Amino acid sequence: MAQDKKENKTPGKAILASGFWRTLLIVFAALLTFAGPTYVVYAFNSVLKIDYAISIVSGFVLFIVGLAIIWYLIKQKVVT
């Protein structure tokens, strides 16, 4: 009877079952969303002397990745 109940767990859902990984993903998404467009752009432009346009584009990409992670977490009902 126990073998009849097979759980359909994908690797992504197995990671989200742990409270540690959920918290880590939320913090990582928040860092990408808020620190990506500000501090990373500043570090690229001022510290690493990368062109301003490239640093702005990289900040925008990090912002979009952070929003995508937040959207995924909301879709999986980790963040309500």
pLDDT per position as a tens digit, 44-70: 999 999 999 999 999 999 999 999 999
| Rg value, the chain, Cα | 18
Cα separation, 46 vs 3, in Å, equals: 60
At 4, the pLDDT band (50, 70, 90 cuts) reads very low
Cα separation, 58 vs 40, in Å, equals: 8
pLDDT value for 10? 65
Single pTM value for the model: 0.75
- Alpha carbon distance, N-terminus to C-terminus of the chain: 35
> What are the angstrom distances between the C-alpha of 62 and each of 2, 19, 23, 42, 43?
45, 24, 19, 13, 14
Residue type, 59: G
